[in-house]
Structure 1
């Protein structure tokens, strides 16, 4: 019997994996609002090195994200997740012990090497039913967003009491807590055969990078996280110069983030109901352009608060919309690869934001940093204008095992002729047929009858 509710195993999976993911991201995010201030006490510090320290984890995250997913296919999800958390803890301790900016940056890079996102999502897929999987993924996604909000509040508070090293030691403790959760609460499962809907395929990466529609989204998430990371090289410093104590910065961040969510949610609902996703998507990019341009012109305290509010309305809308669009556009049976490339682009954006933001701030000043962000957002707006979103669809996977290899191509062609089928892919290694179908008109009976007759 099928149920439209999560069963106990799925609830346990959602809560435990979301907790692990959120704990790890909390440790990464806490540095963003405080590094530009507390990093000034480190030997060899400069705006460029501050940017490198903030963004260094992004480079190693981008490099290790897909390989760690592959390793989880071979050696088991939980082992790789624990390994990633151990690496993350080691990097945190190295950064906590550091007295110079170079060692802090090395520690941050090691933190990023513990890239567990793909293994966590693959484990979530392994132990959940396909029809319930989006709910589990949504819980994980919401917890990541919540961890960002908590980090902007908690980071300045911890740094005020225990300094920069205290923040890193706390991230190491959080990693240990994550390991305990994995070993005690996260369900144990036998890893399934690699699935193109879950983990990346090495043979498909190049084709995903050449898909123009996906490329627009990958470029978009890179720019989005580049802008967000580079902003935090400037914003904490500007707050402090305005006489706003670092320990009180959370009093600005928290209301801004909460109110931005309040304004963002109706945008998502209206965009979906009125089938105006692209228009609202471009509008959100326009908010990034406007806020960055306004910050380039005026860095008074009141203007910073107002523009951060506008920026995060756009940021939160785009952060929620981009992965959904990747899922819709990615070919049937290749979602794992598309999301792998997307995630790597996201973390590469964080790295580039730290590097370029630090360089521009050091060489030209904060005004040019905001102006360059505005210019990048304009470029993204132009690039995104050519985006074509498919009709609302869902994914269906059908187990398939047959010795008859002669007419497989004919079978797929016939399935594509069935009402509501947008795309069909047969993956022989997985003995499974992947479909992208129109939610309203999909003729499930005809598809199942074709497969039954073929066997």
Structure 2
């Protein structure tokens, strides 16, 4: 990478990291603490966990299309302001309904597609996979730090304080975006209709849209079930659950460089992706048999290892496959599927939890991941465009 690319990648990774940290800090504790809100039920708690995904899903495509027309940075700033407002609403919530509204507003700051498109604009095709992987790793690191500090901060500050801290992170991210990130060359904007048509008609993108939906639906379901599993089955208080989540994330990151090397440098992309899908599915089903902290740590590490590789790899595939003038629209479609999956997994996980318990949620999530193996091979791994 040249100096401009390093600045762009480092700055955008930090902006994305701050936003996702603010979003993820409550994931490991929300299901455990949400019972304290007035009128909370398992279904509404699941909705609070995943509703940000619904508003993200609805707005990712408009944000991506808008970024193609009016510029990436203005769209990203607007989205961060909306996220900040949602964090403050959630911080002041006294009932489960207002908590859901705040989480929905957090999701309405739907900047993922615009950030990915800006990164693609600022990097050459020869380094774009590495750049996207770094952005994906920043999400993994946000998970890691959030799972380490979320339970501790919640025990200290309460959910209100954690949401206020997320608002501070959003403000800092806006400042960094305006001060650090290079401005890309302006392209002739595509029309809204042509951008959407290109994103929908490109059949090579369809398995990627479906795959990211599945990945994030399973992830939201995990965070509905696992905090409750740790509390009820292993007797672990919510404030102590970081002692399982944090080591699992640390261990899961260790094989990531090797897996990326095998996928991107040795030409084994399809095999590595299929392996990671299978690993994550097996890990979730295996959690139903957990009776000790050590076995839970192993299962979570296996799951997050698969998740992290898939999260890091797929945006790069989309950016390479999409037509350059409609990249924002394609990444908007991708992010729409991603966050619609997060909403579906949270809402369905809460409903399954109320009828079939923790094991039902984990089995359903594992089966959903396994279904990805049926259509993932249709992705044209070796023939993606590099423009």
Please report the TM-score for the alignment, with normalisation by the length of structure 1.
0.77
Matched, 1:357 2:349: yes
Q: State the match for 2:313 in structure 1.
A: 321
Pick 1 or 2: higher relative contact order, CA cutoff 8 A, min separation 6: 2
1:127–1:227: structure 2 CA closer, same or farther, 3 Å change rule? closer
* SS at 2:216 equivalent: helix
Matched, 1:62 2:54: no
Q: How far apart in 2 are the matches of 1:127 and 1:206? A: 24
Q: State the match for 1:36 in structure 2.
A: 31
Alpha-carbon contact 1:329-1:389 (below 8 Å) kept: no
1:137–1:328: structure 2 CA closer, same or farther, 3 Å change rule? closer
1:212–1:203: structure 2 CA closer, same or farther, 3 Å change rule? same
Matched, 1:175 2:166: no
Equivalent residues, number? 386
Alpha-carbon contact 1:225-1:350 (below 8 Å) kept: yes
Q: State the match for 2:2 in structure 1.
A: 6
1:118–1:326: structure 2 CA closer, same or farther, 3 Å change rule? closer
CA RMSD of aligned residues (A): 2.6
Counterpart among 357, 363, 384 of residue 376 in structure 2: 384
Q: Compare 371-380 and 210-219 and name the one that shifted more.
A: 210-219
Shift of 1:130: 6.1
Counterpart among 149, 155, 161 of residue 150 in structure 2: 155
Counterpart among 70, 74, 88 of residue 79 in structure 1: 74
After superposition, give the CA deviation of every residue in 1:355-393 in whole Å (9 maximum; x if it has no partner): 101110012211111111122122211222444422476
Q: State the match for 2:240 in structure 1.
A: 248
The equivalences for 1:263-278 within 5 A come to 263-278=255-270
Alpha-carbon contact 2:64-2:329 (below 8 Å) kept: no
Alpha-carbon contact 1:88-1:111 (below 8 Å) kept: yes
Alpha-carbon contact 2:136-2:311 (below 8 Å) kept: no
Counterpart among 366, 375, 378 of residue 358 in structure 2: 366
**Unpaired stretches in structure 2, ≥5 consecutive residues:** none
Q: How far apart in 2 are the matches of 1:113 and 1:317? A: 26
The equivalences for 1:199-210 within 5 A come to 202-206=193-197, 208-209=199-200
Q: Compare 61-70 and 38-47 and name the one that shifted more.
A: 61-70
Higher normalized strand content (fraction of residues): 1
Q: Compare 77-86 and 328-337 and name the one that shifted more.
A: 328-337
1:239–1:392: structure 2 CA closer, same or farther, 3 Å change rule? same
Shift of 1:56: 1.0
Counterpart among 120, 143, 152 of residue 138 in structure 2: 143
Matched, 1:22 2:17: yes
After superposition, give the CA deviation of every residue in 1:402-452 in whole Å (9 maximum; x if it has no partner): xxxxxxxxxxxxxxxxxxxxxxxxxxxxxxxxxxxxxxxxxxxxxxxxxxx
After superposition, give the CA deviation of every residue in 1:142-172 in whole Å (9 maximum; x if it has no partner): 3222112111112111101011111111101
The structure with more radius of gyration: 1
Please report the TM-score for the alignment, with normalisation by the length of structure 2.
0.90
Alpha-carbon contact 2:17-2:138 (below 8 Å) kept: yes
Matched, 1:50 2:45: yes
The equivalences for 1:53-452 within 5 A come to 53-126=48-121, 136-187=131-182, 191-194=186-189, 202-206=193-197, 208-209=199-200, 211-241=202-232, 242-298=234-290, 300-330=292-322, 334-391=326-383, 394-395=386-387
Alpha-carbon contact 1:126-1:192 (below 8 Å) kept: no
Q: How far apart in 1 are the matches of 2:372 and 2:323? A: 23
Q: Compare 65-74 and 305-314 and name the one that shifted more.
A: 65-74
Q: Compare 322-331 and 306-315 and name the one that shifted more.
A: 322-331
After superposition, give the CA deviation of every residue in 1:47-68 in whole Å (9 maximum; x if it has no partner): 2111111111111111111212
Q: How far apart in 1 are the matches of 2:17 and 2:308? A: 17
**Unpaired stretches in structure 1, ≥5 consecutive residues:** 396-455
Q: How far apart in 1 are the matches of 2:384 and 2:74? A: 37
Alpha-carbon contact 2:229-2:358 (below 8 Å) kept: no
Shift of 1:346: 0.7
1:228–1:113: structure 2 CA closer, same or farther, 3 Å change rule? same
Q: State the match for 1:412 in structure 2.
A: none
Q: How far apart in 1 are the matches of 2:192 and 2:138? A: 27
Q: How far apart in 2 are the matches of 1:324 and 1:128? A: 12
Higher normalized helix content (fraction of residues): 2
Alpha-carbon contact 1:68-1:119 (below 8 Å) kept: yes
